[in-house]
């Protein structure tokens, strides 16, 4: 099956914005969204509170909440949960003094709060008293769940959800879009019974657990009427029950898109793995310099504030199963200090280990590549525009005031030849994106005479660009020479190229227009060239590109099954990622010899046999034709009463002339 087209320029913009928003690259210019800049500090506070709760340092979390979000402690429902967790953590320490302090804490704090928190709180208070009797290692005790360390993560997730919504500290658009696309990809594969090669990677990147949903204020618990369309859209988009969607809308005061963002951000990603995928992509695309380059100057911080705990580097923040759970702030700092500076180098099973590894087919081209790189004066200028990768270092230090000594040195890429290959591929991509097709063909042919023999479609596309550029300059004779020498023979060998050849020749009938060149999909062509030529030099494309191709494809296929448009794709810029304007080279996008050769795997044939790939217009026509048969209210009624996906509800209604009552009667008959 052919690979799904992606607007890589749009993805570049989202990833650059993500890296700036998360302070992953050294760049003085702000992210494109001011709201992300203002929420960065809030996200760090939330991360600090989350980690404090996850390691059992409840006092530190409460101190930060008191300083930055006192409203949380004013909500007795949340305060009771925090105090109950603190009581358990005091008993967990096991010392006589801590046990005495736990009894005192019960009298002065936990018991009074239980009376006012919520109706079930006092029963929970009496139940947790059993922790005095049953040991924490007794898995059969009535309070085994209270002793379980997962309780820390539940409370941490709940508090994080509340803070995130209050501060509007949502993740960057790219991060939210990736969560959403991967969750749809997972659901689509389960429904179709597919196991795609990329699924193993997405399953490790998108964690199973989610943060607990935020509690709506008690004043919002009275009955509210929400549009059933909104309820169903939210429920199916983020896999909620109907009641869960209603509660989410209540918390967001009826704002569907805010509720959607709250729910998407509850999904957890492996942050260290995501950062490595983003860094790999940025290096491949020439956005950042190769290697993990960081500043060697120590970070200057203010004196520590009272009651705050230490920070956690993101490389261990995401690995809860291996994190050391300390019983005091001092031991937590010791554990963290010993783990700082560890260079997280993720290696994924069944995937290439390192794109910068010297794995070219042969060493015969090394001197030619190095020589050409030295002779190209533009290379240094392009490289100087790239950013330096910073990574998640010292992100939380300014909150806690704790600074970890680091030597500031990171192991970079020692393989000079690999960097040379990267440079030459990036330069070819840059030339192609500028429409300098003749220069690209000449230089690549010098380096690798067999490249275009094995990639004739790429050669055809580059010669198309050269032909149209000459037509645009008024050099019709030169354009015809290109057509006779290259385009004609290539089309004679591949029938799929005949149609685009005819379309290209039609440009001779048009007046001299700059649009002939500016309208070409040069960036898409440049990316295809980068992927194909990079592979010839032993540079595998980033795994993030594979994820985006697969998930964008399954997103389109999923909503074809649902027979409706995605209401949230514009919010997450998914529509812009799919926009790939190809006015002249359109017919090549679906050619069997598509040079953008990273497919979704052999299992994808199952998808094409059942759903196929069609453009947005056909999907819209299909949806509109079904909606003409079925009234929207009837669709929603069947979905609600029978708990069915939209597509199944539509198919049932189509069998009974769109009558929802008849469908329900037949099902329950």
Q: Contact at 8 Å (CB) between 394 and 299?
A: yes
Q: Contact at 8 Å (CB) between 1 and 573?
A: no
List helix spans (H) across 405-542. Answer: 416-433, 437-447, 451-454, 456-472, 476-482, 488-493, 498-505, 515-518, 522-536
Q: Is the pLDDT of residue 546 over 50?
A: yes
Q: What is the pLDDT of residue 629?
A: 53
Q: Predicted confidence band at 221 (pLDDT cuts at 50, 70, 90)? A: low
More confident residue, 311 or 219: 219
Q: Contact at 8 Å (CB) between 17 and 172?
A: yes
Q: Contact at 8 Å (CB) between 292 and 412?
A: yes
More confident residue, 390 or 582: 390
Map residue 346 onto helix, strand or coil.
Answer: coil
Q: Is the pLDDT of residue 472 over 60?
A: yes
Q: What is the pLDDT of residue 346?
A: 33
Q: Predicted confidence band at 33 (pLDDT cuts at 50, 70, 90)? A: low
Q: Is the pLDDT of residue 21 over 70?
A: yes
Tell me the angle at which helices 8-21 and 271-284 cross, rounded to the nearest 10 degrees. 130
Q: What is the pLDDT of residue 218?
A: 66
Q: Contact at 8 Å (CB) between 416 and 332?
A: no
DSSP designation for 351: S
Tell me the angle at which helices 522-536 and 416-433 cross, rounded to the nearest 10 degrees. 150
* Range 185-190 average pLDDT: 91
Q: Contact at 8 Å (CB) between 623 and 564?
A: yes
Neighbours of 156 (CB within 10 A): 23
Mention every residue, 6+ apart, whose C-beta is less than 8 A from residue 228: 633, 636, 640
* Range 220-247 average pLDDT: 85
Residue 28 burial (CB < 10 Å; 0-12/13-18/19+)?
exposed
Identify which of 585, 597, 355, 600 has the alpha carbon closest to the alpha carbon of residue 454.
Answer: 597
Q: Contact at 8 Å (CB) between 167 and 56?
A: no
Q: Is the pLDDT of residue 280 over 60?
A: yes
Lowest mean pLDDT among 58-72, 148-162, 183-197, 409-423: 409-423
Annotated domain spans of the chain: 56-167, 418-537, 632-668
* Range 377-399 average pLDDT: 63
Lowest mean pLDDT among 109-118, 347-356, 438-447: 347-356
Lowest mean pLDDT among 58-62, 232-236, 306-310, 476-480: 306-310
- In which element (H, E) is residue 618 found? helix 616-629
- In which element (H, E) is residue 662 found? helix 660-668
Q: What is the pLDDT of residue 164?
A: 94
DSSP designation for 238: T
Q: Is the pLDDT of residue 533 over 90?
A: yes
Percentage of residues in the chain with pLDDT exceeding 90?
46
Q: What is the pLDDT of residue 412?
A: 36
54-101 pLDDT, tens digit each: 999 999 999 999 999 999 999 999 999 999 999 999 999 988 898 999
Q: Which residue has the tokens 């190809």?
A: 582
Residue 664 burial (CB < 10 Å; 0-12/13-18/19+)?
middle
More confident residue, 53 or 340: 53
Q: Contact at 8 Å (CB) between 263 and 245?
A: no
Q: Predicted confidence band at 381 (pLDDT cuts at 50, 70, 90)? A: low
- Distance (Å, whole) CA 593 – CA 588: 8
Neighbours of 460 (CB within 10 A): 27
Q: Predicted confidence band at 521 (pLDDT cuts at 50, 70, 90)? A: confident
- Write the DSSP assignment of 65-92 as a string of letters: HHHH-HHHHHSHHHHHHHHHHHHHHHHH
Q: Predicted confidence band at 35 (pLDDT cuts at 50, 70, 90)? A: low
- Distance (Å, whole) CA 542 – CA 325: 35
Identify which of 94, 80, 219, 206 has the alpha carbon closest to the alpha carbon of residue 155.
Answer: 80
The mean pLDDT of the chain is 76
Q: What is the pLDDT of residue 37?
A: 55
Q: Is the pLDDT of residue 370 over 90?
A: no
DSSP designation for 323: -
* Range 11-20 average pLDDT: 94
DSSP designation for 170: P
More confident residue, 641 or 629: 641
Q: Is the pLDDT of residue 301 over 80?
A: no
Q: Contact at 8 Å (CB) between 516 and 507?
A: yes
Lowest mean pLDDT among 52-56, 142-146, 342-346: 342-346
Q: What is the pLDDT of residue 438?
A: 92
């Amino acid at each position: 099956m052919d690979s799904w087209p992606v607007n890589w320029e749009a993805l570049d913009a989202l990833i650059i914005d993500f890296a700036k928003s998360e302070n992953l690259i050294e760049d003085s210019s702000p992210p494109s969204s001011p709201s992300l800049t203002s929420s960065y500090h809030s996200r760090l506070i939330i991360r600090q509170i989350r980690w404090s709760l996850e390691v059992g340092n409840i006092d530190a979390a409460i101190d930060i909440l008191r300083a930055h979000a006192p409203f949380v402690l004013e909500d007795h429902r949340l305060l009771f949960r925090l105090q109950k967790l603190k009581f358990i953590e005091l008993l967990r320490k096991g010392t006589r003094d801590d046990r005495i302090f736990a009894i005192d804490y019960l009298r002065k704090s936990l018991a009074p709060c239980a009376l006012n928190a919520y109706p079930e709180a006092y029963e929970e208070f009496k139940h947790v008293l059993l922790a005095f009797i049953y040991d924490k290692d007794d898995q059969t005790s009535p309070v085994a769940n209270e002793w379980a360390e997962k309780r820390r993560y539940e409370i941490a997730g709940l508090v994080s959800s509340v803070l995130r919504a209050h501060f509007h500290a949502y993740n960057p658009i790219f991060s939210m879009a990736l969560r959403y696309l991967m969750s749809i990809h997972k659901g689509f594969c389960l429904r179709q019974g597919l196991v795609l090669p990329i699924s193993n990677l997405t399953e490790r990147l998108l964690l199973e657990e989610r943060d607990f949903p935020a509690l709506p204020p008690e004043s919002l618990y009275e009955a509210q009427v929400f549009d059933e369309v909104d309820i169903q859209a939210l429920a199916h988009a983020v896999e909620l029950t109907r009641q869960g969607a209603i509660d989410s809308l209540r918390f967001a005061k009826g704002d569907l898109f805010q509720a959607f963002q709250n729910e998407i951000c509850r999904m957890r990603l492996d942050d260290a793995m995501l950062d490595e995928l983003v860094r790999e992509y940025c290096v491949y695309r020439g956005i950042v310099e190769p290697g993990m380059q960081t500043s060697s100057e120590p970070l200057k911080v203010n004196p520590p504030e009272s009651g705050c705990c230490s920070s956690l580097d993101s490389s261990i923040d995401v690995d809860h199963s291996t994190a050391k759970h300390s019983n005091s702030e001092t031991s937590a700092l010791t554990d963290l200090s010993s783990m700082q500076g560890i260079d997280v180098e993720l290696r994924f099973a069944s995937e290439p280990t390192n794109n910068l590894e010297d794995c070219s087919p042969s060493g015969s081209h090394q001197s030619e590549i190095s020589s050409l790189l030295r002779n190209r004066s533009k290379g240094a200028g392009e490289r100087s525009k790239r950013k330096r990768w910073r990574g998640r270092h010292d992100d939380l230090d300014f909150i806690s005031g704790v600074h970890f000594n680091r030597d500031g040195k990171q192991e970079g890429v020692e393989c000079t030849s690999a960097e040379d290959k990267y440079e030459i591929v990036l330069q070819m991509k840059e030339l192609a994106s500028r429409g300098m097709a003749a220069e690209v063909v000449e230089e690549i042919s010098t380096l690798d005479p067999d490249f275009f023999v094995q990639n004739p479609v790429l050669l055809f596309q580059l010669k198309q660009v050269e032909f149209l550029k000459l037509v645009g300059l008024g050099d019709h004779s030169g354009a015809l020479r290109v057509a006779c020498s290259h385009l004609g023979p290539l089309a004679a060998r591949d029938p799929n190229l005949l149609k685009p050849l005819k379309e290209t020749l039609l440009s001779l009938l048009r007046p001299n227009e700059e649009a002939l060149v500016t309208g070409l999909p040069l960036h898409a062509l440049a990316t295809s060239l980068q992927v194909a030529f990079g592979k010839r030099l032993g540079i595998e494309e980033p795994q993030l590109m594979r994820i985006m191709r697969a998930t964008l494809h399954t997103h389109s296929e999923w909503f074809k099954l649902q027979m409706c448009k995605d209401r949230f794709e514009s919010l997450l810029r998914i529509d812009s990622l799919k926009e790939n304007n190809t006015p002249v080279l359109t017919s090549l996008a679906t050619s069997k010899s598509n040079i953008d050769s990273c497919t979704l795997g052999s299992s994808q044939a199952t998808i094409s046999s059942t759903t196929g790939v069609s453009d947005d217009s056909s999907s819209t026509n299909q949806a509109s034709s079904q909606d003409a048969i079925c009234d929207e209210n009837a669709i929603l009624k069947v979905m609600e009463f029978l708990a069915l996906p939209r597509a199944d509800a539509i198919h049932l209604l189509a069998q009974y002339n769109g009558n929802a009552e008849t469908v329900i009667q037949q099902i329950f008959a």
